[in-house]
Amino acid sequence: MNVTNRLLLRATALLACLVTCWALPGCTKSGEAKTRTEQEEAFQANFGFTPPASVTEIQYADHYARGVVDGDYEQWMRFTFMADVFDQIVKKNGYQRNGTSTMVSGPNKPEWWPQDHASQYVREGKDAASYLAHLWHDEKTGFVYWHQTWTD
């Protein structure tokens, strides 16, 4: 292989690398569970059990944004309040009452997310990826609200 071909091959590889690196930072995805099956799957995945039929309404949305070396993932859920279900979530998932954390919800929150809220329970993890979850029951609306953010 002559010098010109080697330089051309290296330039092509460098160009491919630059195009790949340029395209990666814009990786974002948002989703919303539309069917009851999708909503129950989201509930199960986040709380560890299938919601009973008494939880008649579930709404779930998420947003994922990936940077070159880091990213974040944000989730929101609202569902019909049932005292036994709420208690099971708190006990099974290690939520702490009156946590000191301030909840911050990003600009991609779903339309059904409340403007005013005060978290009653908090759960925090600092494993490979850190997460912060808030859970509360809004007596005025009759819903439980859950919000979780992941960062790495």
Q: What is the pLDDT of residues 88-147, one digit of tens each?
A: 999 999 898 875 555 566 678 888 988 776 668 888 877 666 888 899 999 999 999 999
pTM of the model: 0.74
Q: How far apart are CA 135 and CA 53, in angstroms?
A: 21
With a cut of 90, say whether residue 77 has pLDDT above it: yes
H-assigned helices in the chain = 3-23, 36-47, 83-93
What percentage of the chain carries pLDDT values higher than 70?
66
